[in-house]
Amino acid sequence: MSGLSGVTAIAAGGNYSLALKSDGTVLAWGRIWDGTDSNTPAVVSGLTGVIAMATGYLEPSGRSHALVLKGDGTVWAWGDNIYGQLGDGTTTPSTTPVQVSGLTDVTSIGAGGAHSLARKGDGTVWGWGYGGNGQLCNGNNTIYAPTQVLTGVSAIAAGGYHTLARKGDGTVWACGWNPSGQLGDGTLTNRYTPVQVSGLTDVTSIGAGGFHSLARKGDGTVWGWGDNSFGQTGDGNDRTSPAQVSGFSL
Protein backbone atom coordinates (compact mmCIF):
# COMPACT_ATOMS: atom_id res chain seq x y z
CA MET A 1 0.00 0.00 0.00
CA SER A 2 1.33 3.38 -0.96
CA GLY A 3 2.31 5.87 1.70
CA LEU A 4 2.53 3.40 4.58
CA SER A 5 5.73 2.73 6.51
CA GLY A 6 6.65 2.29 10.13
CA VAL A 7 3.31 0.62 10.88
CA THR A 8 3.04 -1.31 14.16
CA ALA A 9 -0.67 -2.29 14.23
CA ILE A 10 -3.73 -2.40 11.97
CA ALA A 11 -7.50 -2.58 12.43
CA ALA A 12 -10.29 -3.16 9.91
CA GLY A 13 -13.89 -1.95 10.15
CA GLY A 14 -16.73 -2.97 7.86
CA ASN A 15 -15.88 -0.31 5.29
CA TYR A 16 -12.72 1.40 6.50
CA SER A 17 -9.23 0.62 7.80
CA LEU A 18 -6.79 2.05 10.31
CA ALA A 19 -3.02 1.83 10.70
CA LEU A 20 -1.00 2.78 13.77
CA LYS A 21 2.51 4.08 13.15
CA SER A 22 5.49 3.77 15.45
CA ASP A 23 5.31 7.49 16.24
CA GLY A 24 1.82 7.06 17.76
CA THR A 25 -0.13 8.63 14.89
CA VAL A 26 -3.05 6.93 13.10
CA LEU A 27 -3.83 6.73 9.40
CA ALA A 28 -7.31 5.97 8.02
CA TRP A 29 -8.80 5.12 4.63
CA GLY A 30 -12.07 3.82 3.20
CA ARG A 31 -15.57 5.11 3.96
CA ILE A 32 -16.09 6.91 7.24
CA TRP A 33 -19.44 7.26 9.02
CA ASP A 34 -20.84 10.09 6.86
CA GLY A 35 -20.21 8.26 3.58
CA THR A 36 -17.05 10.15 2.61
CA ASP A 37 -14.52 8.03 0.73
CA SER A 38 -10.76 8.22 1.04
CA ASN A 39 -8.87 6.02 -1.37
CA THR A 40 -5.47 6.58 0.23
CA PRO A 41 -4.32 6.62 3.88
CA ALA A 42 -4.70 10.01 5.57
CA VAL A 43 -3.56 11.08 9.03
CA VAL A 44 -6.37 11.26 11.60
CA SER A 45 -6.08 14.78 12.94
CA GLY A 46 -5.43 15.45 16.60
CA LEU A 47 -4.15 12.00 17.56
CA THR A 48 -0.73 11.38 19.09
CA GLY A 49 0.59 8.84 21.56
CA VAL A 50 -1.78 6.09 20.42
CA ILE A 51 -0.96 2.49 21.45
CA ALA A 52 -4.10 0.52 20.41
CA MET A 53 -7.11 0.79 18.08
CA ALA A 54 -10.57 -0.77 17.71
CA THR A 55 -13.12 -0.48 14.91
CA GLY A 56 -16.92 -0.80 15.00
CA TYR A 57 -19.37 -1.31 12.15
CA LEU A 58 -23.17 -1.61 12.37
CA GLU A 59 -24.82 -3.79 9.73
CA PRO A 60 -26.84 -3.27 7.61
CA SER A 61 -26.85 0.51 8.10
CA GLY A 62 -23.14 0.94 7.41
CA ARG A 63 -22.74 3.20 10.45
CA SER A 64 -19.23 3.02 11.87
CA HIS A 65 -17.12 4.33 14.72
CA ALA A 66 -13.54 3.96 15.88
CA LEU A 67 -11.75 3.97 19.23
CA VAL A 68 -8.10 4.50 20.10
CA LEU A 69 -6.24 4.07 23.36
CA LYS A 70 -3.45 6.50 24.20
CA GLY A 71 -0.39 5.72 26.28
CA ASP A 72 -1.72 7.91 29.09
CA GLY A 73 -4.68 5.54 29.55
CA THR A 74 -7.31 7.78 27.96
CA VAL A 75 -9.66 6.70 25.15
CA TRP A 76 -10.67 8.75 22.12
CA ALA A 77 -13.42 8.09 19.56
CA TRP A 78 -14.89 9.38 16.34
CA GLY A 79 -17.57 8.46 13.81
CA ASP A 80 -21.26 7.72 14.22
CA ASN A 81 -22.79 8.40 17.64
CA ILE A 82 -26.51 7.72 17.28
CA TYR A 83 -26.42 5.38 20.29
CA GLY A 84 -23.76 7.21 22.27
CA GLN A 85 -20.99 4.86 21.13
CA LEU A 86 -18.43 7.70 21.24
CA GLY A 87 -18.90 7.92 24.99
CA ASP A 88 -18.86 11.69 25.29
CA GLY A 89 -22.35 11.90 26.79
CA THR A 90 -24.01 13.03 23.54
CA THR A 91 -25.49 11.51 20.39
CA THR A 92 -23.64 13.95 18.13
CA PRO A 93 -21.40 12.33 15.50
CA SER A 94 -17.84 13.56 15.08
CA THR A 95 -15.42 13.42 12.16
CA THR A 96 -12.53 14.15 14.53
CA PRO A 97 -11.58 12.28 17.72
CA VAL A 98 -13.28 13.27 20.97
CA GLN A 99 -12.21 12.08 24.41
CA VAL A 100 -14.38 9.41 26.00
CA SER A 101 -15.68 10.88 29.23
CA GLY A 102 -14.15 9.99 32.57
CA LEU A 103 -11.91 7.10 31.55
CA THR A 104 -8.32 6.75 32.81
CA ASP A 105 -5.97 3.81 33.39
CA VAL A 106 -7.42 1.93 30.42
CA THR A 107 -5.36 -1.02 29.17
CA SER A 108 -7.49 -2.40 26.29
CA ILE A 109 -10.51 -1.44 24.19
CA GLY A 110 -13.17 -3.05 22.00
CA ALA A 111 -15.70 -1.74 19.47
CA GLY A 112 -18.88 -3.58 18.44
CA GLY A 113 -21.57 -2.64 15.97
CA ALA A 114 -22.79 0.26 18.09
CA HIS A 115 -21.29 -0.38 21.51
CA SER A 116 -17.85 0.23 22.98
CA LEU A 117 -15.80 -1.35 25.74
CA ALA A 118 -12.75 -0.47 27.81
CA ARG A 119 -10.86 -2.56 30.35
CA LYS A 120 -9.02 -0.74 33.12
CA GLY A 121 -5.90 -1.81 34.95
CA ASP A 122 -7.92 -2.95 37.95
CA GLY A 123 -9.79 -5.55 35.84
CA THR A 124 -13.05 -3.62 35.61
CA VAL A 125 -14.80 -3.29 32.25
CA TRP A 126 -16.66 -0.15 31.26
CA GLY A 127 -19.26 -0.06 28.48
CA TRP A 128 -21.26 2.54 26.56
CA GLY A 129 -23.43 2.79 23.45
CA TYR A 130 -26.27 0.53 22.32
CA GLY A 131 -27.30 -2.15 24.81
CA GLY A 132 -30.72 -3.20 23.54
CA ASN A 133 -29.62 -6.80 22.95
CA GLY A 134 -27.75 -7.09 26.23
CA GLN A 135 -24.29 -6.50 24.77
CA LEU A 136 -23.34 -4.12 27.58
CA CYS A 137 -23.90 -6.93 30.13
CA ASN A 138 -25.99 -4.68 32.38
CA GLY A 139 -29.53 -5.33 31.17
CA ASN A 140 -31.02 -3.87 28.01
CA ASN A 141 -29.80 -0.35 28.61
CA THR A 142 -28.36 2.07 26.08
CA ILE A 143 -25.90 4.38 27.83
CA TYR A 144 -24.12 7.47 26.58
CA ALA A 145 -21.07 7.63 28.83
CA PRO A 146 -18.88 4.84 30.27
CA THR A 147 -20.48 2.75 33.02
CA GLN A 148 -18.84 -0.10 34.90
CA VAL A 149 -20.36 -3.40 33.75
CA LEU A 150 -17.91 -6.19 34.70
CA THR A 151 -15.15 -6.96 37.21
CA GLY A 152 -12.27 -9.44 37.40
CA VAL A 153 -11.67 -9.41 33.64
CA SER A 154 -8.31 -9.96 31.95
CA ALA A 155 -9.36 -9.54 28.28
CA ILE A 156 -12.34 -8.26 26.28
CA ALA A 157 -13.73 -8.64 22.76
CA ALA A 158 -16.69 -6.89 21.14
CA GLY A 159 -18.73 -8.60 18.41
CA GLY A 160 -21.40 -7.02 16.28
CA TYR A 161 -24.06 -7.33 18.98
CA HIS A 162 -22.35 -9.34 21.71
CA THR A 163 -19.47 -9.12 24.16
CA LEU A 164 -16.91 -11.65 25.39
CA ALA A 165 -14.80 -11.38 28.54
CA ARG A 166 -11.96 -13.66 29.67
CA LYS A 167 -11.47 -13.91 33.40
CA GLY A 168 -8.22 -14.52 35.20
CA ASP A 169 -9.09 -18.18 35.78
CA GLY A 170 -9.17 -18.84 32.02
CA THR A 171 -12.95 -19.02 31.68
CA VAL A 172 -14.91 -16.99 29.13
CA TRP A 173 -18.17 -15.15 29.75
CA ALA A 174 -20.58 -13.64 27.22
CA CYS A 175 -23.63 -11.40 26.94
CA GLY A 176 -25.76 -9.94 24.15
CA TRP A 177 -27.62 -11.13 21.07
CA ASN A 178 -27.52 -14.88 20.45
CA PRO A 179 -29.43 -15.88 17.27
CA SER A 180 -26.53 -17.99 16.00
CA GLY A 181 -25.24 -19.31 19.31
CA GLN A 182 -22.41 -16.78 19.48
CA LEU A 183 -22.65 -16.62 23.28
CA GLY A 184 -21.61 -20.27 23.47
CA ASP A 185 -23.87 -21.30 26.35
CA GLY A 186 -25.68 -24.03 24.37
CA THR A 187 -28.76 -21.91 23.65
CA LEU A 188 -30.09 -19.32 21.22
CA THR A 189 -31.30 -17.10 24.05
CA ASN A 190 -30.22 -13.47 24.33
CA ARG A 191 -28.42 -12.75 27.60
CA TYR A 192 -28.59 -9.40 29.35
CA THR A 193 -26.12 -10.34 32.06
CA PRO A 194 -22.99 -12.48 31.56
CA VAL A 195 -23.22 -16.26 31.16
CA GLN A 196 -20.28 -18.65 31.10
CA VAL A 197 -19.28 -20.07 27.72
CA SER A 198 -19.72 -23.84 27.99
CA GLY A 199 -16.74 -26.12 28.50
CA LEU A 200 -13.92 -23.63 28.01
CA THR A 201 -11.00 -23.43 30.43
CA ASP A 202 -7.37 -22.34 30.15
CA VAL A 203 -8.25 -19.69 27.56
CA THR A 204 -5.47 -17.24 26.77
CA SER A 205 -7.09 -15.00 24.13
CA ILE A 206 -10.51 -14.31 22.63
CA GLY A 207 -12.01 -12.76 19.52
CA ALA A 208 -15.53 -11.81 18.40
CA GLY A 209 -16.88 -11.35 14.89
CA GLY A 210 -20.27 -10.15 13.74
CA PHE A 211 -22.09 -13.31 14.83
CA HIS A 212 -19.36 -15.74 15.84
CA SER A 213 -16.73 -16.09 18.56
CA LEU A 214 -13.26 -17.61 18.92
CA ALA A 215 -10.96 -18.60 21.75
CA ARG A 216 -7.35 -19.76 21.92
CA LYS A 217 -6.36 -22.11 24.72
CA GLY A 218 -3.03 -22.49 26.46
CA ASP A 219 -2.25 -25.65 24.48
CA GLY A 220 -2.46 -23.66 21.21
CA THR A 221 -5.81 -25.05 20.06
CA VAL A 222 -8.49 -22.74 18.69
CA TRP A 223 -12.19 -23.10 19.47
CA GLY A 224 -15.11 -21.50 17.63
CA TRP A 225 -18.86 -21.12 18.02
CA GLY A 226 -21.76 -19.18 16.55
CA ASP A 227 -22.60 -18.43 12.92
CA ASN A 228 -20.82 -20.46 10.26
CA SER A 229 -22.56 -19.24 7.09
CA PHE A 230 -19.17 -18.56 5.51
CA GLY A 231 -17.08 -21.14 7.38
CA GLN A 232 -16.01 -18.74 10.12
CA THR A 233 -16.18 -21.31 12.93
CA GLY A 234 -14.07 -23.72 10.93
CA ASP A 235 -16.17 -26.90 10.86
CA GLY A 236 -19.12 -26.32 8.53
CA ASN A 237 -21.89 -25.96 11.12
CA ASP A 238 -23.40 -23.28 13.33
CA ARG A 239 -22.46 -23.97 16.94
CA THR A 240 -24.21 -23.00 20.16
CA SER A 241 -21.21 -24.18 22.19
CA PRO A 242 -17.47 -24.23 21.44
CA ALA A 243 -15.94 -26.82 19.12
CA GLN A 244 -12.29 -27.20 18.28
CA VAL A 245 -11.29 -25.76 14.92
CA SER A 246 -9.59 -28.60 13.12
CA GLY A 247 -6.42 -28.53 11.11
CA PHE A 248 -4.28 -26.03 12.95
CA SER A 249 -3.08 -24.82 16.31
CA LEU A 250 -1.41 -21.57 17.37
What's the full length of the chain, in residues?
A: 250
Computed over every residue of the chain, the mean pLDDT equals: 93
**pLDDT band, very low/low/confident/very high, at 246 (cuts 50, 70, 90):** confident
Mean pLDDT, residues 50-68 taken together: 91
User: Which segments within the chain are labelled E, that is strand?
Assistant: 7-12, 16-21, 26-31, 37-43, 50-58, 63-70, 75-79, 94-99, 106-111, 115-120, 125-129, 143-150, 153-158, 162-167, 172-176, 191-196, 203-208, 212-217, 222-226, 239-244
Mean pLDDT, residues 221-225 taken together: 94
pLDDT-wise least confident of 24-28, 58-62, 155-159, 199-203: 58-62
Handedness of CA 84, 82, 69, 135 (dihedral sign): positive
For 81-98, what is each residue's pLDDT tens digit? Answer: 999 999 999 999 998 999
**pLDDT band, very low/low/confident/very high, at 249 (cuts 50, 70, 90):** low
Under 8 Å between Cβ of 237 and 214:
no
Q: Which residues contact 3 (CB under 8 A, 6 or more apart)?
A: 27, 40, 41
Under 8 Å between Cβ of 108 and 150:
no
For 173-201, what is each residue's pLDDT tens digit? Answer: 999 999 999 999 999 999 999 999 999 99
**pLDDT band, very low/low/confident/very high, at 2 (cuts 50, 70, 90):** confident
Q: Would strands 63-70 and 50-58 be described as parallel, antiparallel, or unpaired?
A: antiparallel
Mean pLDDT, residues 69-82 taken together: 96
Q: Which residues contact 184 (CB under 8 A, 6 or more apart)?
A: 172, 174, 197, 198, 200, 213, 225, 226, 239, 240, 241, 242
> Is the pTM above the cut of 0.75?
yes
pLDDT at 236 over 70: no
Cβ atoms within 10 Å, residue 90 = 14
